Structure formats: structure tokens, C-alpha cells
Amino acid sequence: MSVVRDLILQADDDLRYPTSGELRTMVDFLDQGAMRVSVVNVLTENEKKIVDESAKQLFGRKPEYVAPGGNAYGQRQRAQCLRDYSWYLRLITYGVLAGSTEMIQEIGLVGAREMYNSLGVPMPGMVEAMKCMKEASLSLLSEQQVKLTSPYFDFLIQGMQTST
């Protein structure tokens, strides 16, 4: 769930104290706490802007998605797509805060894959949507914040690509 929790549980499972390397990892994670919170604040405060820009980018690249017969055609379907963008952005913020991809994996990839497959939503479209959301999100962050945040988007995108 978080770097610190995971390292402590691993040491406990092995019936040992955390190693000096594990302790350094914890210190590094804790030192980044203020930046993690700052990233989450930026993403949360700009959720609508990020979602709107992501949709604009995606539907500009893939106009067939909003054309008759497309998965985002019509007000209801489009609203559902935008809801999903917000949902994934929230999962990214959880990952940034925890320093872990566990929730992204369990909620955002495993559960969603089953849902999208049952609804007939093409995963390549979701991959492209998450790439657009990554671009829109990272454009609001400093270089240092981008380095911290980008791996969580990459994990999500890679996970979606392997499920296509």
C-alpha cells in the first residue's frame, strides 16, 4: 500500500530488521512527502482542466470515437468516458501519495480490464486516453514533479497495453 508499509512487512515476513538500503528507501520516500502532496494538490485542483484537455486531445486524434457508432458517441457515453478519466486520475494520485502502484494494479488494471472487456470498450482507446491524460497532467507540473509522477502514468499505460 505504501513504500514504508511494504518494506516493514517484508522485513517482518523475513523475521529481520529493515536493512540499511530499505531504511534509505524509507528516508527518500519521506523526504519527498511535501512534493508528493504538492503533486496531488495540483492534479486534484486541476481535475476538470486535465479531463477536458485529455478528451480534447483524444477526440482530436481519434474522431471516430465520438462519431455515430463510436464508444463515446452521444452525451451519455461521452460523460461515462470523462468519468473514467477522473477515476484514473484519482488512482494516479493514490499511487503518488503511497509511492506504490499496488492500487493502480488492483483497481485500475485488473478490475477495469474485466469491466471494459464485458462492455466491449476497446483497450487501445483507453491506452490512448491515458496517454492524453498523462500529457495534460504533466504539463501542469515542475520538472522534478514530472519525474516523480510520470512512472505512475507509465505503469497504468503499460498495464493497459498488455491487456489489449
Report the C-alpha gap between 63 and 19 in whole angstroms: 53
- CATH (one of 3.40.718.10, 1.10.490.20, 3.20.20.70, 3.20.20.140) for 33-161: 1.10.490.20
Query: Quick one: pLDDT at residue 118?
Result: 80
Amino acid at position 72, single letter: A
HSE-up (13 A, CA, CB side) for residue 154: 6
pLDDT in tens, 114-156: 778 787 778 888 999 999 999 999 999 999 999 999 999 999 9
Q: What is the model's pLDDT at position 115?
A: 79
Model confidence, pTM: 0.91
Can you give the pLDDT at residue 48? 98
Q: Is the pLDDT of residue 164 over 90?
A: no
| CATH code 1.10.490.20 region(s) in the chain | 33-161
pLDDT of 21-70, one tens digit each?
999 999 999 999 999 999 999 999 999 999 999 999 999 999 999 999 98
The angle, 0 to 180 degrees and rounded to 10, between the axes of the packed helices 33-45 and 143-161 is 70
Residue with cell 512534493: 35
